[in-house]
A and B are shown apart, each in its own frame.
Chain A
């Protein structure tokens, strides 16, 4: 089974990297960019009986390691 875990910064957490990218986009003339927030994507292949089991394993992975729940949110997508 293929899945994707997406980790993003919580609202209100300052993201200096996102800010720098936002500035760079503006200086490149990419217009109408209001804000940029940087996050992480983990593409994961796993053995799991069904979708529900896969989701619960990925939730465990995200909460134990992939995301720092103090500053980050995550969501799980089953790809195939």
Chain B
């Protein structure tokens, strides 16, 4: 695994992501600066981490999505390269056109910082192969704009192509509006690109990888990526 973590002004979760990647893969990821026009040589995984790029000015992720490095990320994704986009990273990926839709203000207008239950919708992807479809995992969220919205046609297409990777559910894995805290359409917490090589999600799997801080439900996502890259 040769991971590159993108760094924009205002991003603040790049170190947690680096720590998780190092812990699970044993390899130190490289930080890639937003103003660069190329990804570090040999990059096989691009990670867009969480934070508040450009202070969330204009729209969350809007300005970062137009940074120079994003042209290289789009080219990487177009060739089938893996991209993991978490939280603000998911917002950036949507604004950059790597994924459809947009993340709007949480329906209850509150910043959410809590642990949520997520149902893994499919296990045949580079990001989820170490889980089983239907598994319910506990992972924290921390966002003010995580309410996934897209037009009806896009939602129907995502659902029809099984590109919803994760949904917010009750602890037993059942869909329940009471557990869809941010009001996302169809309780969507994470979606995949057409070729399944880009995953965007609001929750933070990198927070739950080390028993020293509690559950390790996020670990298998990173193990899945390692397995995928080793098999390639």
Q: What residues make up the interface of A, taking CB atoms closer than 8 Å to B?
A: 13-14, 16-17, 20, 64-66, 68, 70-71
Contacts and interface: CB of A to CB of B under 8 A. Distances in A.
Given A65-B58, A65-B62, A70 B102 contact: yes
A70 B151 contact: yes
Nearest to A42: B58
Interface string B100-113: 11101111110000
A17 B106 CA distance: 10
B59 interface: yes
Given A16-B107, A68-B102, A71-B104, 10 more contacts: A14-B104, A14-B149, A16-B106, A16-B108, A64-B66, A65-B58, A65-B66, A68-B62, A68-B95, A71-B102
A17 B105 CA distance: 8
Nearest to B108: A16
Contacts of B183: 14, 16
B62 A13 contact: no
Contacts of B101: 70
Main secondary structure of the interface of B (DSSP, over half): loop
A14 B107 contact: yes
Contacts of B75: none
**Which of B58, B63, B150: most chain A Cβ within 10 A?**
B58
Interface of B: 58-59, 62-63, 66, 95, 100-102, 104-109, 147, 149-151, 183
B58 A70 contact: no
Contacts of A70: 100-102, 149-151
A68 B147 CA distance: 15
A26 B20 CA distance: 48
A66 B100 CA distance: 18
12 contacts: A13-B104, A14-B149, A16-B106, A16-B107, A16-B109, A17-B109, A20-B109, A64-B66, A66-B58, A70-B101, A70-B149, A70-B150
Nearest to B100: A70
Given A65-B58, A68-B59, A70-B150, A16 B105 contact: yes
